[in-house]
């Protein structure tokens, strides 16, 4: 069974054009199954081992691409759709932020119900993180 929980990451921080055109990435929320089948491997990457780092990057990329729904960005000064096919062309900074964004609520914390919702909107920053 698949639950309809999507998360939207605004890309407004990338500049005026990105903000003025409401650019974003939308993902399906990570599941417990995602954590069991690879997400935990990302956290165990040994930064001194190139094979480990490479495996972590591949796992991260696969996870983000599988959970990616849609997006909008700027290319050559024009608004374009971000798709699964061109997702990997985004700057590494954006993909790392997306991975952090999707995993931010996976650690045990107090109930954030009043601070975060599952509505498709930017949930990359909570009041605690400001």
Q: Which long-range contacts (CB under 8 A, 24 or more apart) does 121-127 make?
A: 121/8, 121/10, 122/8, 122/9, 122/10, 122/12, 122/24, 123/7, 123/8, 123/9, 124/9, 124/10, 124/97
Residue carrying the six token digits 């990616």: 68
* 122 assigned to some structural domain: no
Mean pLDDT computed over 32-38: 71
Q: What integer pLDDT is reported at residue 112 of this predicted model?
A: 41
Per-residue pLDDT band for 26 (boundaries 50, 70, 90) equals: very high
Torsion sign, CA atoms 90, 74, 28, 108: positive
- Whether residue 85 lies inside any domain: the answer is yes
Contact 123, 117 (CB under 8 A): yes
The reported pTM is 0.70
The range of the structural domain enclosing residue 64 comes to: 6-107
User: What domain count does the chain have?
Assistant: 1
What is residue 48's DSSP assignment? Answer: T
Pick the more confident residue, 120 or 76.
Answer: 76
Domain assignment present for residue 60? The answer is yes
Nearest-5° Cα angle at 42, 99 to 26:
20
pLDDT given at position 1: 83
Least confident of 65-69, 83-87, 103-107: 103-107
Is residue 115 included in any domain, yes or no? no
Does residue 70 sit within a domain? Answer: yes
Average pLDDT, stretch 51-65? 75
Residue 78 included in any domain: yes
Q: What is the mean pLDDT of the chain?
A: 77
């Amino acid at each position: 069974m698949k639950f309809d929980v999507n998360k939207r990451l605004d890309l407004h921080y990338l500049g005026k054009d990105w903000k003025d055109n409401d650019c974003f990435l939308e993902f399906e929320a990570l599941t417990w199954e995602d954590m069991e089948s690879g997400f935990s491997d990302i956290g165990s990457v040994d930064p001194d081992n190139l094979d480990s780092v490479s495996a972590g990057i591949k796992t991260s990329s696969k996870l983000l691409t599988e959970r990616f729904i849609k997006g909008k960005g700027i290319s050559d000064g024009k608004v374009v759709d971000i798709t699964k096919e061109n997702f990997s062309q985004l700057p590494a900074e954006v993909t790392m932020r997306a991975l952090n964004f999707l995993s931010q609520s996976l650690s045990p914390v107090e109930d954030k119900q009043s601070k975060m919702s599952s509505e498709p909107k930017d949930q990359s920053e909570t009041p605690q993180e400001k």
